[in-house]
Amino acid sequence: MKKSCLILFAFLSLHTFAQKFEGLALTPPMGWNSWNTFATHINEKLVMEMADAMVSSGMKDAGYTYLVLDDAWMAKERDSGGNIIADPQRFPHGMKYIADYVHSKGLKFGLYNCAGTRTCADYPGTRGYEYQDARFYASQDVDYLKFDWCNTKGINAEEAYTTMSKALKAAGRPIVFSLCEWGTNKPWQWAESVGHLWRTTGDIGNVFAGDKKYGDWSALGVLHIIDMQDSLRKYAGPGHWNDPDMLEVGNGLTESENRAHFAMWCMLAAPLIAGNDIRKMDASTHDILTNKDVIAIDQDSLGIEGFRYATKDSVETWFKPLKNGDWAVCFLNTSNAPQKVAFKWKEEAVNDTLSNRQLDAKTTTYQLRNLWTKKSAGTTKKDLSATVPPHDVLLLRLTK
């Protein structure tokens, strides 16, 4: 009897005190966020237009599910009951009205707040209101919460995010929990049971090489962020993802840079959260963001993050194991000049000890498909020889 009680207690403890909703974000979340293009300049009309555009542009069909409102959706202060409320001028019908509209389009709805006393744009933060705010999100049919890290002096990150995770669970509505902690306190080491994705770096900027200065801080360029990811892959997997920040595709990068940025986020099994004005994107941006062959690399159900295999002459070679014995390989040209790529398939032993997968072209022949041109690139029976334009990629899928 005593043994049975202990087993029952362990079972109930596991299910009662689990910190996050399981079964969510089994592949990296895909969607759109308002911050990169609009910052605090958001309103009801914009959000509804963006929901329409996600459907009409084909973004929804390509897998983009979450429409997330970032900072400044709320009023400057809480009401007399301590409740967080939508800005009455910019969102006169409230958040439930917006959520209903987004849901009517077959999409899911996300909101933003912050672990500190105020948000980054100086709106009411959640510190001290975690359970009250979680009940509000559940009542508004929110599906995704991005939780930032401003105004947190003296606050312990693990404690703060764990508290919010428990509050969301207690509120009862399954919500994807995105920890936007910037990697300061190494959330990859403790957040698997707390949230579904966690930021690994500071904010991204719309630059490819180098960083973008903003007074006393800098937004990070694409290449800088990629350099910070390679050692973190062991922490990622279905339901818990490293997040190198939102996409800047369509926000001022060149076409080659957009292509390289998107390809590398897919190789990293990163969340794909678009940040452009999808109502006005050009054909090139549209084709990059909705390339289903490339997206399939990101959304592969194995959930294994890619790894840097080699670097030579400013070209980085990245591999990513995929389901059914397939592989993706990406040759990233980080330089400002075209670079030749040569790869002798049969002489390279690609061994991923993390996933216990090997790519052995000596004994197995793989078909090669260029995922951007959507054409065959031969097989591994023949050595690869190609030229990669500056700040661009050659992305191939290898199939047995």
Catalytic residues: 148, 203
DSSP state of 26: S
Residue 125 tokens, joined:
């933060």
Residue 124 tokens, joined:
């009411």
Q: What's the CA gap between 348 and 161, in Å, rounded?
A: 43
Residue 384 tokens, joined:
């690869």
Question: Closest Cα partner for 248 from 272, 280, 284?
Answer: 272
In the block, which residue shows the tokens 């020889």? Answer: 385
Q: What's the CA gap between 153 and 156, in Å, rounded?
A: 9
Q: What's the CA gap between 178 and 233, in Å, rounded?
A: 18
- The answer to whether the CB of 299 falls within 8 A of the CB of 241 is no
Residue 359 tokens, joined:
């790519």
- The answer to whether the CB of 73 falls within 8 A of the CB of 47 is no
Residue 142 tokens, joined:
């929110």
- The answer to whether the CB of 203 falls within 8 A of the CB of 245 is yes
User: How far, in Å, are 77, 90, 132, 304 from residue 298 at the CA level?
Assistant: 39, 35, 35, 9
Distance of CA 333 to the CA centre of its chain: 23
Q: What's the CA gap between 80 and 245, in Å, rounded?
A: 35
